[in-house]
Structure formats: C-alpha cells, structure tokens
C-alpha cells in the first residue's frame, strides 16, 4: 500500500499513515503483534487496541508459546498506541490486571458503564423496553460505547499524523482486583471514575458490564451465546426518575453538561454529541404525566 507495484489498491491515493485496530480476540492478537512483530516489521504507524483481555495471544501452541500473564504493551514502543477499555472488559476479561500507566507512546481510555458488547441508546427513557440482545436473560447494556470508539480512532489518527497525543483518561475506580466484579460503584450501582458518559452523570438506569446470562428458553439450544459479554441495564422506575429530575429541563441540562465535557476532553466527537443532545431533549425524563415538560425552557 505504501509503494504499490502493478495494481495500486488505493487507485492513486497516497498513504500518509497506516493504523492497525483490533477488538476483543483481535485485540489480544494485536497486543502480541505490537510486542513481538512490530519491532521487526514496522508496518504500522499507530495502534488502537480495543477491548483486550489481561493477556496477549500465543504465537504458537505448546508451553513455549504461552505469553506472559497480564501482558503490558512494551515500554519502548516507537509509535502511538491507544488502548480503549470498558468496565465490562475488566469484569469478564480481567483486563484491569494488565492496566499500565501513561508512556511517551501509550495512552489508555476506560469507559465507565460500558460493556464489552451492547445495544446502544443515548437515553434509557421512562418505561424503556430494553433489548435482550442475543437471547439474554436480562436487558443488555445500552451505553453508547461506539461514540468513544470513533473519538479514539480520531485521536489516534491525530497523534500519528501530527504528534498531538490524547490525554490519559481517568481510571475506573477498583476495589479488590481479584473479585468477580472489581469495580467500586456509586449509590446507583454505576462505576465510579473513568470516562463519564452522560448516562453516568445524568443516570436514568444502572448500566454495568457485569456478566449477563442466557435466557432459559435458549440455554439448552447448544448454540454459542455470548450473553456474558453484553452487560446489564436496569432502568430506574418513574418514582426514582421524578425524584432525580423534577423537571425535564433539569435532566436535559445535566445531560448536556456531561456531553459538553466529553467533547471538550476529546472522548466524543461533535456528530455523536449532537445526536445525544437531541435524544435527551426528546426524552420523557422529568416530564409530567400528560407528556408536557414540567417546566418551560
């Protein structure tokens, strides 16, 4: 792609930088690629490691092929690496055991309230009928994880092209690292610390990356099911919402403050922020029983 011979796969476009991304199992492999292959090949100008587990992947079978546990990205990496993690990855994949500090070419972002996989919504509205995902027992996580992914790819591209490194995100607060759920939670059951989505700062539900399970009707089907990766959404009831948000305006203002903070800090881009603000404005949070806002704006 950099120096095509014969067929030009980019049709005359000139390569500025080549970035590699990998999510989940591909992220495990990308960790090993960065540590073992990149120093030899230098094929890429930056890496987005998305939703990795604690370890990298083995290069081959057998005892000699096993990678070290709790694998860090090598400290002498010479191109940008942005590692994007969710609280769900810390619970189901134990990725927190490989958490490492900021380096000259390394940054880590951690998303509170997000699962490894989800059915995203901007707002869990009053009486929301939350999806059960791939046949899960409980409503699955609805955090808009994807909005942070887009911002992360943008940040990595800017870092690789212009040398402008993104900030290291606040860390999700942890208790016992060996616990089934190592995360410290607030009074709503939501994670403390990390990148604060509007759903964390203006909550209308408990959103976690805790393991979901397969619905009883599907548990004996024999088909592979990844419900344990889809997390949970527990919507607040109307009484709790009314207590938190006596007016629609109070909810929208709280939601928008969180959105503005995300954009300012580089964790969301404007198109996603605009969509989110519109969804909050059109929601029924803080509205009277008749459907009209409880106060004028």
Give the torsion sign (CA, 120, 122, 124, 127).
negative
Give residues with Cβ within 8 angstroms of 166, minimum separation 6. Answer: 82, 107, 109, 152, 155, 156, 158, 159, 266
Host domain of residue 105: 19-282
Decide if 297 is inside a domain: no
**Domains of the chain: total:** 1
Decide if 196 is inside a domain: yes
Q: Do 50 and 29 form a contact (C-beta atoms < 8 A)? A: no
Decide if 236 is inside a domain: yes
For position 61, what pLDDT does the model report?
Answer: 80
C-alpha closest to that of 31 among 63, 2, 1, 53: 53
For position 184, what pLDDT does the model report?
Answer: 98
Strand partners, 46: 19
Decide if 9 is inside a domain: no
Please list the ranges in the chain whose pLDDT falls under 50. 289-297
C-alpha closest to that of 48 among 164, 118, 149, 116: 149
For position 67, what pLDDT does the model report?
Answer: 80
Query: What is the distance between the alpha carbons of residues 60 and 32, in angstroms, rounded to a whole number?
Result: 11
For position 155, what pLDDT does the model report?
Answer: 98
For position 128, what pLDDT does the model report?
Answer: 85
C-alpha closest to that of 48 among 121, 113, 106: 106
pLDDT tens digits, one per residue of 42-92: 999 999 999 999 999 988 887 777 788 899 999 999 999 999 999 999 999
Decide if 177 is inside a domain: yes
What is the torsion angle, in degrees rounded to the nearest 10, for the CA atoms of residue 268, residue 261, residue 245 and residue 184?
A: 80
For position 68, what pLDDT does the model report?
Answer: 81
Q: Do 124 and 205 form a contact (C-beta atoms < 8 A)? A: yes
Decide if 107 is inside a domain: yes
């Amino acid at each position: 792609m950099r120096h095509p011979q014969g067929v030009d796969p980019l049709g005359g476009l000139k390569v500025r930088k080549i970035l590699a991304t990998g999510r989940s199992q591909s992220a495990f492999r990308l960790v090993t690629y960065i540590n073992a292959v990149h120093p030899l090949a230098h094929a890429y100008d930056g890496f987005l490691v998305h939703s990795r587990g604690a370890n990298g992947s083995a290069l081959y079978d057998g005892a000699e092929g096993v990678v070290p546990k709790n694998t860090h990205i090598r400290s002498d990496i010479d191109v940008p690496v942005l590692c994007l993690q969710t609280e769900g990855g810390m619970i189901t994949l134990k990725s927190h055991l490989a958490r490492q500090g900021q380096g000259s070419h390394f940054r880590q972002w951690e998303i509170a309230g997000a699962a490894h996989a989800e059915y995203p919504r901007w707002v869990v509205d009053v009486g929301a009928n939350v999806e059960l995902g791939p046949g899960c027992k409980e409503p699955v996580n609805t955090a808009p994880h994807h909005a942070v992914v887009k911002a992360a790819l943008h940040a990595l591209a800017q870092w690789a092209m212009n040398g402008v490194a993104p900030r290291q995100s606040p860390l999700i607060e942890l208790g016992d690292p060996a616990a089934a759920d190592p995360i410290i939670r607030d009074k709503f059951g939501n994670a403390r610390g990390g990148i604060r989505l509007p759903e964390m700062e203006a909550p209308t539900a408990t959103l976690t990356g805790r393991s979901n399970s397969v619905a009883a009707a599907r548990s004996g089907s024999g088909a592979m099911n990844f419900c344990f990766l889809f997390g949970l959404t527990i919507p607040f009831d109307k009484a709790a919402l009314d207590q938190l948000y006596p007016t629609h305006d109070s909810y929208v203002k709280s939601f928008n403050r969180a959105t503005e903070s995300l954009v300012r800090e580089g964790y969301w881009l404007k198109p996603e922020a605009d969509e989110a603000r519109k969804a909050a404005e059109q929601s029924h949070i803080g509205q009277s029983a008749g459907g009209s806002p409880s106060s004028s704006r």
